[in-house]
């Protein structure tokens, strides 16, 4: 058994694709139109092009919005991405206008930061030490 | 006034204040993460929420809604008022510009109004207000 997909609900797939590729630096792997408004879109890390694909999934189900709102209010990220230097990423992304709800903070074996993906979710960046 | 002392009587709640003293504007998620990773306090999010509610009722923290986010800030006002009655009157207040030799003024927050369970490792007490 392998984890080949992980999915994130996004409020706007085109906007999300721009954010996840242009700001975060992921690469589009698949884009298949499903209907007039929605597509099957996945992105991957350029460091792991054959690794787990992240699905940018439409947030059309009515349960998604209240779920996201409750998590965001409490500052809880929907998932976490590994970075080599969280402070450098923080500076780089802030210059692009990305909003952070938590600046880089030492949390035991990791230093983490939390940002807003502009499409309904918070994302954590984590740098593991040692 | 009773609310303030009751809120301070719990070591977890004092830890929360320690962490907020380091940086204001923390989400519930960040406070939970700090308590777990820095202090080994394996509390549920719900339990921490309840501690935050006690601190907020005592006026020691304030919650602030900023768009979709909710942040917590430290408010030391009630703390100062709570201990002021036993402290000698100070002149111009914190770090008064008039009295350069008054640098030994006791820090009311760190000298402690009595923490019955002994001294705590407050490594950051040496650098209050660092950002």
Length of chain A as a residue count: 130
Domain extent for B58:
1-84
Task: With a cut of 70, say whether residue B115 has pLDDT above it.
Answer: no
Mean pLDDT, residues B33-41 taken together: 94
Long-range contacts of residues A95-99, Cβ cutoff 8 Å, at least 24 apart? A96/A23, A98/A23
Candidates A74, A103, A106; nearest CB to B70: A74
Q: How many separate domains does chain B show?
A: 1
A114 to B70: CB separation less than 8 angstroms, yes or no: no
Rounded to an integer, what distance in angstroms lies between the CA atom of residue B88 and that of residue B98?
A: 18
B27 to A101: CB separation less than 8 angstroms, yes or no: yes
Nearest residue of B to residue A77 by CA position? B29
Candidates B23, B37, B69; nearest CB to A73: B69
B29 to A75: CB separation less than 8 angstroms, yes or no: yes
Task: With a cut of 90, say whether residue B90 has pLDDT above it.
Answer: no
Which residues are A128's β-sheet partners?
Answer: A110
CATH number of the CATH domain containing B52: 1.10.10.10
Q: How many separate domains does chain A show?
A: 1
Query: pLDDT, tens digit, for every residue of A40-95?
Result: 999 999 999 999 999 999 999 999 999 999 999 999 999 999 999 999 999 999 99
Tokens of B10: 């719990």
Rounded to an integer, what distance in angstroms lies between the CA atom of residue B8 and that of residue B61?
A: 12
Domain extent for A17:
5-128
- Is B10 within a domain? yes
CA distances from residue A16 to A72, A80, A92 in whole angstroms, order as listed: 17, 16, 18
Please, are residues B19 and B60 in contact by the beta-carbon 8 Å criterion? Answer: no
Residues from chain A contacting residue B26 (CB–CB below 8 Å): 75, 102
Nearest residue of B to residue A121 by CA position? B68
CATH number of the CATH domain containing A62: 3.10.180.10
- Is B96 within a domain? no
Angle between helix axes B28-39 and B45-57 (nearest 10 degrees) is 110
Query: pLDDT, tens digit, for every residue of B94-108?
Result: 544 444 444 444 444
A74 touching B, CB under 8 A?
yes
Identify the helix (H) or strand (E) that includes residue B81: helix B77-84
Closest alpha carbon to B79 in B3, B2, B4: B4
pLDDT band at A109 (very low <50, low <70, confident <90, very high): very high
Rounded to an integer, what distance in angstroms lies between the CA atom of residue A61 and that of residue B43?
A: 32
Residue with tokens 């009630």: B78
Closest alpha carbon to B71 in B87, B52, B97, B58: B52
pLDDT at residue B86 in the model: 87
More confident residue, A55 or B120: A55
User: B35-44 burial by CB neighbour count: b if 16+ within 10 A, else e?
Assistant: bebbbebeee
Task: With a cut of 90, say whether residue B129 has pLDDT above it.
Answer: no
Identify the helix (H) or strand (E) that includes residue A115: strand A110-116
Tokens of B51: 């501690």
- Is B26 within a domain? yes
- Is B97 within a domain? no
Non-local (6+) Cβ contacts of A12 within 8 A are A119
A75 to B30: CB separation less than 8 angstroms, yes or no: yes
Rounded to an integer, what distance in angstroms lies between the CA atom of residue A54 and that of residue B55?
A: 40
pLDDT at residue B94 in the model: 53
A107 to B37: CB separation less than 8 angstroms, yes or no: yes
Rounded to an integer, what distance in angstroms lies between the CA atom of residue A113 and that of residue A123?
A: 8
Strands (E), B10-122: 61-66, 69-74
Rounded to an integer, what distance in angstroms lies between the CA atom of residue A77 and that of residue A112?
A: 11
A73 touching B, CB under 8 A?
yes
pLDDT at residue B87 in the model: 84
A84 touching B, CB under 8 A?
no
- Is B31 within a domain? yes
pLDDT at residue B84 in the model: 87
Percent of chain B with pLDDT over 90: 57
Task: With a cut of 90, say whether residue B111 has pLDDT above it.
Answer: no
């Amino acid at each position: 058994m392998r984890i080949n997909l992980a999915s994130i609900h996004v409020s706007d797939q085109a906007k999300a694709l721009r954010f996840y590729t242009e700001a975060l630096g992921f690469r589009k792997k698949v884009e298949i139109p499903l209907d007039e408004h929605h597509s099957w879109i996945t992105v991957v890390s350029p460091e792991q092009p054959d690794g787990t694909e992240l699905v940018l999934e439409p947030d059309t189900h009515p349960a998604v919005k209240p779920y996201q709102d409750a998590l965001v209010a409490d500052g809880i990220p929907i998932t976490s991405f590994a970075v080599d230097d969280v402070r450098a990423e923080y500076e780089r992304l802030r210059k692009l206008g990305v909003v952070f709800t938590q600046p880089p903070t030492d949390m035991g074996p990791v230093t983490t930061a939390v940002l807003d993906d502009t499409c309904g979710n918070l994302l954590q960046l984590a740098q593991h030490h040692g | 006034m009773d609310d303030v002392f009751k809120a301070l009587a719990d070591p977890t709640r004092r830890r929360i204040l320690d962490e907020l003293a380091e940086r204001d504007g923390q989400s519930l998620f960040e406070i939970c993460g700090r308590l777990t990773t820095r202090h080994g306090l394996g509390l549920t999010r719900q339990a921490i929420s309840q501690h935050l509610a006690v601190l907020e009722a005592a006026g020691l923290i304030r919650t602030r809604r900023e768009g979709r986010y909710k942040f917590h800030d430290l408010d030391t006002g009630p703390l100062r008022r709570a201990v002021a009655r036993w402290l000698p009157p100070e002149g111009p207040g914190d770090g008064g510009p008039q009295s350069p030799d008054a640098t030994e003024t006791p820090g009311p927050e760190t000298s402690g109004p009595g923490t019955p369970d002994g001294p705590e490792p407050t490594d950051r007490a040496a650098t209050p207000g660092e950002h």
